[in-house]
Structure 1
Amino acid sequence: MTYWGLDDRAHTGEMVVNAAVAEEVASVFRKLYDQRYPIRRMELVDAYKGSDYDSIDAGNTSAFNCRSATGSGNWSEHAYGRAIDLNPLENPFVYADGSHAHSNADEYVDRPKKPGVIHADDKVVRAFEEIGWGWGGYWSSYKDYQHFSKSGH
């Protein structure tokens, strides 16, 4: 897909999703492109040898990754290609105590108004809600600001 980078230039990225959601996901990213929403990078998790940590640390927007859910032994929605992590540096996973795993995301924990940062009811959240997807920023016990999924989990 073509996306606008944080450098305000068009880039071409790759993303693998479940075939059942591919069309609706493409419609969201088409809308974000039209709105010039900035994305740091978009590569397959294969570029990071399947490491979710390394992909997030690089600020990589991705979807399919055969892994368990954070803090769980159950499969993640990413393992089914029905979840997307968008700008994970700008939108970190924050535990209930306020801690997070990526020191290069420190400045984004308090949700500043900066390019690529997702906020409640902004155009990114609304675009995913229009296709029936939920946002991890609305979760109560912890916040996964980067996470959007078909199931809402």
Structure 2
Amino acid sequence: MKRATAMAFVVLASVSCGAGEPAASPATSAPVHETPQSPTPVPATAEPSPTAPPAFTSKVSQVSRDRLPYSWQPGCPVHYRDLRLITLSYWGFDNKPHTGELVVRKTVTDDIETVFKKLYDWRWPIKQMKLVDAFKADDYDSIDVNNTSAFNCRRATGSSNWSNHAYGEAIDINPLQNPYVTASGSTAHQNAKKFTKRPMNGKGVINPGDKVVKAFAKVGWEWGGYWSGAKDFQHFSKGGG
């Protein structure tokens, strides 16, 4: 009986020892290596482009008698019905585009549009551009405020003959920077005295052989700066004179 009891104890002890062994560890999975993601590129901010100036424009229209209350009168060598009003763009001394008006003979409107488109595209500056009637057709007053103008039924300076302006085939550009200079080197306008020599640098100045002179020459207009004796640096006319 003691032997049976002892055997039973041994069996129980064996079962207890087996139950106390540690359980097998579960299999460890291999580490996962993730591919690092590249940062999302930030789109470059486009540089703001400066606003382009408006393109050159010009419009040719018939000119009414009431637009020429001072510059045309009966007896002028060209009837006002043969004149045309050109409304066109020009580049100002303030480095901005402007709109001006010129009256010329209807036969030369293409010439004017061609040349002034080039001047505008070059950003070549013009101070102002009004009909001479804004100054009651007083040529001196128009010149004194540096006004660019064309038609004016008047005599040529120092002559009894009609000026080419009276035919609508001449234009004066920036007359302050490009004055009429006598053979002795003087000018009638005090504010233009520093511009009597050529060549010279300056805004709106016309010089011998420059691109303004060449642009007019291509359409058959001559420059007063090439005259012998007195020089008229502001003046361009169809065929000269």
- TM-score bracket relative to the smaller structure: over 0.9
Q: Are 1:75 and 2:162 counterparts?
A: yes
When you count strand as a share of all residues, which structure comes out higher?
2
Give me the whole-angstrom Cα distance separating, in 1, the residues matched to 2:156 and 2:113. 24
Deviations 1:10-33 (Å, cap 9, x if unpaired)?
111000000000111111001110
Q: Which of these residues, 189, 205, 215, is aligned with residue 127 of structure 1?
A: 215
Runs of 4+ in 1 over 4 A off after TM superposition: none
Aligned partner of residue 152 in structure 1, secondary structure: coil
Deviations 1:16-53 (Å, cap 9, x if unpaired)?
00000011111100111001100010000000000000
After TM superposition, the structure 1 = structure 2 runs for residues 36-115 of structure 1, keeping only pairs within 5 Å, are 36-111=123-198, 112-115=200-203
Greater CA drift, 37-46 or 105-114 = 105-114
Aligned partner of residue 14 in structure 1, secondary structure: strand
Provide the TM-score with structure 1 as the length reference: 0.98
Q: Match for residue 21 of structure 1?
A: 108
Ranges in structure 2 where 5+ consecutive residues have no aligned partner: 1-87
Give me the whole-angstrom Cα distance separating, in 2, the residues matched to 1:44 and 1:148. 17
Aligned pairs, number? 153
Aligned partner of residue 203 in structure 2, secondary structure: coil
Give the C-alpha shift of residue 151 in structure 1: 2.2
Q: Match for residue 139 of structure 1?
A: 227
Q: Match for residue 50 of structure 2?
A: none
Aligned partner of residue 13 in structure 1, secondary structure: strand
Q: Match for residue 97 of structure 2?
A: 10
Give the C-alpha shift of residue 107 in structure 1: 1.4
Larger radius of gyration: 2
Identity %: 61
Partner letter of residue 57 of structure 1?
A: D
Give me the whole-angstrom Cα distance separating, in 2, the residues matched to 1:11 and 1:107. 27
**Over aligned residues, Cα RMSD in angstroms?**
0.7
Partner letter of residue 178 of structure 2?
A: N
Give the C-alpha shift of residue 106 in structure 1: 1.3
Question: Quick one: higher RCO (CA 8 Å, sep 6+), 1 or 2?
Answer: 1
Ranges in structure 1 where 5+ consecutive residues have no aligned partner: none
Provide the TM-score with structure 2 as the length reference: 0.63
